[in-house]
Structures are given as C-alpha cells and as structure tokens.
Amino acid sequence: MNYTAITIGPIYDVILDTLNDKNKTKRLKAGSYYFSYFMKELAEGLKDNFDIIVPFNEIKDEDIKEMGIYHDRLIACSNEDIETIKKKFESAYNNAFKKIAVNFKLDAEKLKEDMNNHYFFASEEELKEVNENIIFAINEVLDSLEQNRIMSFDGRFDEIKNFQQRVVEGEKKEFNKVKSLEDIAGNFKYYAVLYADGDSMGKKIKEIAKEDATKITELSKKLYKFFTEDNLANKIKNFGGELIFAGGDDILAFLPLISGNKTIFELIEEIHQNFKNKVGEDISMSFGISVVYVKFPLKKAIEDAQNFLYEAKDFRKSKKTNQGAVAIEVMKHSGHYFKSFHVINSNEYEKFKGFIEKALKKEEKIPKGLQYKLNLYKDVIISKYKNENKENKNSIVSFFENIFNELSNEELEEIKKVAEYFDIHKPKTEKELNKLISDFHIVKFIRDRNETVKN
C-alpha cells in the first residue's frame, strides 16, 4: 500500500491577515470557507482513484456553505505505484484550483501561489521507518513540513482576498446574514471568542490505527456528524453568535456571553455533551474563552482564546478527569482582567453555574466588597485548608460568617453558599484561591452587566 498526504494553509495566517479589513466576521468566515472548499474539491478529484482515510468526504454541499468543515489535512492510499499516484494526485490538486477559479472568476495560478501547501508520497514500508503506526508516521511528516512554512505578508493572499470579497459582496447568500462583532456584543458591549478542541484525540487515533489505519475514516465521520447532525452552526447562530470554522475537532466561534436566560456556560456544556454523544464517551472537548470589549483587538482576542484552550487542557490533566475543561478570561474595558478554570459536568461547575444563574436574574445577594475582603484574608484562608487533616476537616463557613458579620441575614445566607463553594475546592495555594476569587468577579460582571461598560 502506498500513501499520499497533504496539509493545507496558511489558514491561521490568512485569518489574522484578514483582520486588517472591514467586515471582519464575514471575511473570517469566507476565509474559513475557502480552505474548506479547496479541500472539498481536492477530495472530490481524488476519491475515484484513492481510498481517502481522512477527512470524511461524503459531505453535502450545503454543510460547507456557512463554515469551514473540512480538516486541513488529507490522507489517502492506493495500491498503485508511487509514480502513478503522484500523477493522479497532482492532476486532482491542479484541477481543484481551476474549479474554484472558474466558479468565482479568479486566477488559478494566483490562488496556488497564495497557498502554502505541503504534500508527499510514501510507501507503507518507508512510513513504518518513521513510526510503526502509519497515521502517526504521516502526521509526523506533515508536522515537519508545516514547520518549514515561511510567511511573508507583503503582497500575499491577494487572490484569496478576492475570493473572500466575492463571497462577502453577496455571491454566497448565506453570508449576507453574518453578524458583526457589534451585533454579537449587543448592548452589553462585550463578546466571547471561543476556541475548542477535542481531548485525548491522539490516544483515540492511536488505538484505532493500531487495529486498522483505514478505520480512522469512521472517527472522521463521527466528527462530521457532530458538526452537522447537531447543527452546530445553527445552535451558535440561535445563541446570537457566529461559527467561524468547525474542522476536524476544532471550533472557532464568536458568541455573546448571555443570550436570553442562558449564558455561554450552559452552551459549552451542551456542546461538550453532544461531542461525547456523537464521537465517544471516552473523549471530551475543552474550551478556551476570551471575553473582551467590542473594540478590543480581535487578533489578540483570538490568540488569547487559543492560549486559554491549552491552559484548559493542562488544567484538565491536573484534575485527572475524563471530562472537558474550560479556561475563561474576562478582559474589562478598564484593563482589569480575571481568569477562571472549570471541569465541565463537575459538582463545582454546577455550583458555579448556580451563582451565574442567580446573577443573570439579579437575584444573588453577594456583597460588592467580597473580592476585596477575600484578598485581605488570603493567607488565613489558605492556612485553614493547609492545616486540614482527616480528623480535622476545616470548613470556612464560620470564619466567613465572622468576617462578614455586618451583613443582613439575607446576605449572610449568600455568604454561606460562597463559603461552601470554597469548601468544595479547598484552596491551599494563592493560585487556587485567586481562581475562586475570579469566579466571583465573573458572577459580578454578569450581575452588573448594564453598568459594566462604564467601569
């Protein structure tokens, strides 16, 4: 068996370069759509002569009209000799550019110049010298090729930008209703950049490929069904946001923090559960969320959300859980920021959502000076949990009642719940305590949303 594989790009560079233009959300979606459209045309041209392992390529045209749904890598195999598959691959590769050029009245050669794709051809024996697992070997080679990409923004991406412009100006009616960042932020003036990615996918692929590399196609099909059967694009649109891309197991979306009587925390829990239902209970999805003021640089917000995703995955590993995690940072217009971490579906996440729900309804009675006082008694709180042992299970409730003794009975009841929340986490380091304090900054941010912009 002989193999061919390709990694296409530079997706991220085009996305960031797009942010210099107007209609950012539309252009981002159009850029995402371009790369997905190219991969679709390439897969169409290959499938008569190759067995395509990934991505799952029986995708309906309507499923890529509003988002990028194809992965940025393609792996295919054939029993024909290397020279034959090379000729057939390159013919399909060139035809993919020609089809896009004809459909959008563009220059095929210029489109090709705008992309920085890498592909190779190898026998099974050659790949096994890299790694006994064929799929891992192919990905190692593609990783190496990607690292050699050299980007220059001088005069680059002009034809891809022309493609985006045609789409934005109405050649694809689906893009006419794409929301701007201002639409998404609404009166709140803040919106969330969400970056999500499947957890333990490498382990899953390794297990599948050990038995039969071609079975990776089934995993790719499950991911496709997660995006389409669950209608992720509509779910996010109905929440008031925009899905920018959903390819492989990656998601990038712009969302309001609040939609009606629902917050982003319920939405990601729903997405997480649907992912597990469709793809497998043994894997999960984690999220990085950057909540920013509507005038905050979008490029920085996207980069932050991606970095927070990595932090969420590290947090998940530290908790040794099979559930996904979320890292969320709120960057206020004033420059004040706070970051929080949670394991989805955990007891503490449910408690946190309880505070958020009450804040959304403006029913919670947490005093405004809570964060200040918690910082004031930081060392005492940490010490109490550090000195806890099997015989002496310290609760912070009585201590909280003592330091907040000037409050009304109603407020004290709320403080008890805050103390019980601390007892669940038992913070023994300043970092752990700061995470809890950030939770209540977020609760306050949602409670005071009408006044937030002034701060």
Phi, psi values for residue 281, rounded to 5° = -70, -15
Question: Does the pLDDT of residue 150 top 60, yes or no?
Answer: no
Mean pLDDT of 7-11: 85
pTM: 0.89
Least confident of 100-109, 150-159, 235-244: 150-159
What confidence category does residue 153 fall into, taking pLDDT thresholds of 50, 70 and 90?
Answer: very low
**Would residue 377 count as lying in a domain?**
yes
For residue 67, the model assigns a pLDDT of 59
**Boundary (domain end) residue, out of 314, 345, 376:** 345
For residue 14, the model assigns a pLDDT of 74
Residue with more model confidence, 85 or 65: 85
Same domain, 96 and 185: no
What confidence category does residue 46 fall into, taking pLDDT thresholds of 50, 70 and 90?
Answer: very high
**Would residue 279 count as lying in a domain?**
yes
Phi, psi values for residue 121, rounded to 5° = -130, 135
Question: Does the pLDDT of residue 11 top 50, yes or no?
Answer: yes
pLDDT tens, position by position, 273-305: 999 998 888 889 999 999 999 999 998 999 999
For residue 89, the model assigns a pLDDT of 97
Going 205 to 211 to 217 to 219, the CA torsion angle's sign is negative
What confidence category does residue 348 fall into, taking pLDDT thresholds of 50, 70 and 90?
Answer: very high
Buried b (16+ CB within 10 A) or exposed e, 295-326: ebebeebbbbbbebbebbbebbeeeebebbbb
**Nearby residues of 13 by Cβ (< 8 Å), 6 or more positions away:** 151, 153, 157
What confidence category does residue 409 fall into, taking pLDDT thresholds of 50, 70 and 90?
Answer: confident
Mean pLDDT of 323-349: 93
For residue 393, the model assigns a pLDDT of 64
pLDDT tens, position by position, 223-250: 888 887 777 888 999 999 999 888 778 8
pLDDT tens, position by position, 264-273: 999 999 999 9
Residue with more model confidence, 178 or 290: 290
Q: Which amino acid belongs to residue 190? A: Y
**Boundary (domain end) residue, out of 160, 178, 196:** 178
Residue with more model confidence, 289 or 373: 289
Same domain, 389 and 275: no
Same domain, 95 and 156: yes
Residue with more model confidence, 285 or 9: 285
Same domain, 23 and 166: yes
Which candidate, 349, 350, 353, places its Cα nearest to that of 361? 353
Residue with more model confidence, 449 or 396: 396
For residue 193, the model assigns a pLDDT of 97
Going 257 to 259 to 265 to 269, the CA torsion angle's sign is negative
- Give the strand order in the sheet containing 337-343: 242-247, 250-255, 190-199, 284-293, 325-331, 337-343
Same domain, 299 and 203: yes
For residue 108, the model assigns a pLDDT of 96
**Would residue 292 count as lying in a domain?**
yes
Same domain, 137 and 168: yes
**Would residue 330 count as lying in a domain?**
yes
Averaged pLDDT score across all residues of the chain: 87
Hey, what's the torsion of the CAs at 349, 352, 354, 360, to 10 degrees? -130
What CATH number is attached to the domain comprising 260? 3.30.70.270
For residue 442, the model assigns a pLDDT of 93
Question: Does the pLDDT of residue 390 top 90, yes or no?
Answer: no
**Would residue 411 count as lying in a domain?**
yes
Least confident of 74-78, 163-167, 170-174, 399-403: 170-174
For residue 422, the model assigns a pLDDT of 92
Same domain, 199 and 154: no
For residue 28, the model assigns a pLDDT of 87
**Would residue 173 count as lying in a domain?**
yes
Residue with more model confidence, 245 or 191: 191
Q: Which of 48-57, 218-227, 337-346 is modeled with the greatest confidence?
A: 337-346
Same domain, 20 and 72: yes
Q: Distance of alpha carbon 292 from its chain centroid, rounded?
A: 16
Structural domain for 248, as ranges? 181-345
Same domain, 106 and 208: no
Q: Which tokens go with 409?
A: 């009975």
Given the DSSP bridges, would you call strands 284-293 and 190-199 parallel, antiparallel or unpaired?
Answer: antiparallel
Same domain, 174 and 211: no
Q: Which tokens go with 136?
A: 């891992």
**Would residue 357 count as lying in a domain?**
no
Same domain, 407 and 272: no
What confidence category does residue 26 fall into, taking pLDDT thresholds of 50, 70 and 90?
Answer: confident
For residue 152, the model assigns a pLDDT of 47
**Boundary (domain end) residue, out of 289, 317, 345:** 345
Report d(CA 93, CA 90) in Å as an integer. 5
Same domain, 282 and 338: yes
Q: What's the domain count of the chain?
A: 3
For residue 234, the model assigns a pLDDT of 85
427 upstream amide cis, omega within 30 of 0: no
**Would residue 355 count as lying in a domain?**
no
Q: Distance of alpha carbon 180 from its chain centroid, rounded?
A: 19
